[in-house]
């Protein structure tokens, strides 16, 4: 007959004194207890006794483990006076953290446009349909509204329309034009870029994220023409990629520009020389962004007379720019919070 009481007393004492209390579950005595079930007269009673013993041991092990962990951590006296002369411990590079690659690249985009005379503004993460569509010459019911996979909220704006998460930075065009409109009268141009987050209800894959970044550009003055748009973008991209590039425009359609263009650049990696290039898939050209001459209705919505002033605008995905610069193959890495990836920048 096994004396459960005896065994329990013995094992509890050993657990309380052990530095590795969990190893006690493997002692030969206990194995014998488990094996005893084979010969037990009443297996149900025996099994219940084994279970009681096991629970008692588990509880004691947990208590002992907690004691050991507490002892490992030196107590901190939060009331102790601080030694202001103590050297600040040097951080390992891994502890120092890095700025997110998108943050670095947005700063670079702002800096390049800044040198070209563009102010920078921030967008917002909730906006209304008036700025998302109406000011941009998409009246209610315009079919192109559906192209934007816009996230709607349950909150309504003053017109009773759901507030939205902006699906492009063009939502800021009207605000930027109004903010800087006085400069036109002073004979200066409106010149601003708006880099910020945008949101789309997209199916996700290596090239599509629901949350990504765009930079919007707006330039309005007297006598602005498409040549100035193309030169500005070319200059920016050459500066950003640090090399000479060819650029190409194709006609396109956006409600807020007329004419509208799709803007392509020669591959910043192979320059069109490598048929196996991973960045341009051997095409030599990369369709990068949308742009055009600001539609007269968009100027009117900002109380700017289109007979007196003209402007250009563009919208460029920043994630795309950055992915090409560093040859990042999957856009989802950028928002993944994976340190292995982020620490490379
Ligand atoms: N908002 C457009 C988009 O996200 C991009 C764009 C095209 C912006 C033309 C512009 C523009 O300012 O003129 O698809």
Residue nearest to atom 12 of ligand 1 (CA): 314
pLDDT at 305: 98
Q: 152 and 34, same structural domain?
A: no
* Residues 112 and 31 both lie in one domain: no
Which pLDDT does position 83 carry in this prediction?
78
150: tokens are 């816009």
Does some domain include residue 79? no
Q: How far is the CA of 268 from the centre of ligand 1 (A)?
A: 22
Q: Are 131 and 12 contained in the same domain?
A: no
User: What's residue 322's pLDDT?
Assistant: 94
For residue 86, is it within any domain?
A: no
Whether residue 188 lies inside any domain: the answer is yes
- Output the residue whose Cα is nearest ligand 1's atom 10: 314
Domain count, the chain: 2
* CA 214 to ligand 1: nearest atom: 4
304, 184 in Cβ contact below 8 A?
A: yes
Other beta carbons within 10 Å of 274: 14
- The residue nearest atom 3 of ligand 1, judged by CA position, is 168
**Are residues 172 and 53 part of one domain?**
no
Domain stop point among 72, 93, 112 = 72
Which structure tokens are listed for 246?
Answer: 């060819």
Rounded Cα distance, 159 and 178, in Å: 21
pLDDT at 339: 84
The Cα–Cα gap between 193 and 115 comes to 12
d(CA 248, CA 230) in angstroms, rounded, equals 9
Q: How far is the CA of 154 from the centre of ligand 1 (A)?
A: 26
In sequence order, the 6+-apart residues with CB closer than 8 A to the CB of 224 are 189, 293, 309, 310, 311, 312
**Shared domain check, 54 and 181:** no
131 is a domain residue? yes
Ligand 1 contact, 315 CB (< 6 A): yes
Q: Is the CB of 291 under 6 A from ligand 1?
A: yes
User: pTM value?
Assistant: 0.73
245 half-sphere exposure, CB direction, 13 A CA radius: 27
Cα–ligand 1 centroid distance for 315 (angstroms): 4
User: Are residues 169 and 31 both part of a single domain?
Assistant: no
Nearest one of 289, 344, 274, 299 to 101, comparing CA atoms: 344
* Ligand 1 contact, 123 CB (< 6 A): no
pLDDT at 95: 64
Length of the chain: 345
Nearest-CA residue for atom 4 of ligand 1: 168
Residue whose pair of structure tokens reads 């816009």 in the numeric block: 150
Strands, sheet with 211-221, edge to edge from the N-terminal-most edge strand:
119-120, 190-199, 211-221, 310-317, 285-294, 257-266, 247-254
Q: Do 27 and 146 belong together in one domain?
A: no
Block residue for tokens 């050993």: 14
Q: CA-to-CA distance for 212 and 208, rounded, in angstroms? A: 9
Residue 292 CB less than 6 A away from ligand 1: yes
In a domain, 208, yes or no: yes
166 lines ligand 1 (CB under 6 A): no
Q: Which residues pair with 252 in a beta bridge?
A: 260
What ligand 1 atom has the least distance to the C-alpha of 147? 14
Q: Which domain holds residue 287?
A: 101-342
Locate 309 and state its tokens.
């002033």
Q: Is residue 90 part of a domain?
A: no
* The pLDDT value given to residue 94: 60
**Which numbered atom of ligand 1 lies nearest the CA of 312?**
13
In a domain, 92, yes or no: no
CA gap 117, 242 in Å, rounded = 19
| Domain match, 18 and 138 both | no
Q: Are residues 129 and 175 in the same domain?
A: yes
- Contact present, 12 and 56 (Cβ < 8 Å): yes
C-alpha 257 to ligand 1 mean position (Å): 8
Asked whether residue 27 falls in the same domain as residue 133, the answer is no
Residue 194 counted as domain residue: yes
**Are 120 and 54 in a shared domain?**
no
> Are residues 131 and 234 both part of a single domain?
yes
Per-residue pLDDT tens, the chain, 345 aa: give them: 788 999 999 999 999 999 899 989 888 888 889 888 888 888 999 999 999 999 999 999 999 999 888 777 777 788 887 777 877 777 666 666 778 999 999 999 999 999 999 999 999 999 999 999 999 999 999 999 999 999 999 999 988 999 999 999 999 999 999 999 999 999 999 999 999 999 999 999 988 999 999 999 999 999 999 999 999 999 999 999 999 999 999 999 999 999 999 999 999 989 889 999 988 889 999 999 999 999 999 999 999 999 999 999 999 999 999 999 998 989 999 988 888 898 888
Tell me what pLDDT residue 317 has. Answer: 96
Contacts of 261 (CB under 8 A, 6+ apart): 226, 229, 249, 250, 251, 252, 290, 291, 292
What's 314's domain CATH number?
3.30.930.10
Cα–Cα distance for residue pair 107/99, rounded to 1 Å = 11
- Taking each helix axis from N to C end, the angle separating 4-17 and 28-35, rounded to the nearest 10 degrees, works out to 150
> Computed over its alpha carbons, how large is the radius of gyration of the chain?
33
Residue 312 beta carbon below 6 angstroms from any ligand 1 atom: no
Cα 290 to Cα 5: distance, rounded to the nearest angstrom: 81
Ligand 1 nearest-atom number relative to CA 257: 13
Cβ proximity of 308 and 222 under 8 Å: yes
CB-CB contact of 222 with 186 (8 Å): no
Q: Tally Cβ neighbours within 10 Å of residue 92.
A: 7
């Amino acid at each position: 007959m096994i004396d459960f009481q005896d065994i329990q007393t013995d094992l509890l004492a050993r657990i309380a004194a052990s530095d590795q209390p969990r190893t006690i579950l493997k002692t030969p005595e206990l194995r014998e207890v488990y094996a005893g079930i084979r010969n037990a007269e009443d297996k149900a009673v025996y099994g219940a006794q084994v279970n009681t013993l096991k629970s008692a041991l588990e509880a004691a092990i947990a208590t002992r483990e907690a004691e050991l962990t507490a002892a490992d951590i030196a107590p901190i006296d939060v009331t102790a006076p601080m030694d202001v002369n103590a050297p600040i411990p040097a951080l390992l590079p891994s502890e120092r953290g890095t700025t997110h690659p998108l943050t670095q690249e947005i700063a670079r985009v702002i800096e390049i446009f800044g040198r070209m005379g563009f102010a920078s503004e921030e967008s917002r993460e909730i906006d209304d349909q008036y700025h998302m569509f109406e000011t941009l010459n998409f009246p209610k019911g315009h079919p192109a509204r559906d192209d934007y996979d816009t996230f709607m909220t349950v909150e309504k704006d003053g017109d009773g329309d759901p507030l939205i998460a902006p699906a492009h930075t063009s939502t800021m065009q009207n605000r930027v034009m109004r903010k800087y409109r006085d400069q036109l009268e002073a004979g200066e141009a409106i010149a601003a870029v708006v880099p910020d987050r945008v949101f789309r209800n997209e199916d996700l894959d290596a090239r599509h994220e629901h949350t990504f970044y765009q930079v919007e550009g707006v330039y309005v003055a007297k006598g602005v023409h498409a040549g100035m748009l193309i030169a500005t973008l070319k200059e920016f991209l050459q500066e950003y990629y640090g090399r000479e590039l060819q650029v190409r425009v194709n006609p396109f359609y956006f409600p807020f520009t007329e004419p509208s263009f799709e803007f392509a650049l020669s591959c910043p990696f192979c320059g069109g020389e490598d048929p196996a290039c991973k960045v341009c898939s051997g095409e030599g050209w990369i369709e990068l962004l949308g742009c055009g001459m600001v539609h007269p209705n968009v100027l009117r919505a900002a109380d700017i007379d289109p007979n007196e002033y003209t402007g250009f605008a563009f919208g460029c995905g920043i994630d795309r720019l950055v992915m090409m610069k560093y040859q990042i193959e999957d856009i989802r890495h950028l928002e993944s919070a994976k340190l292995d990836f982020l620490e490379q920048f």
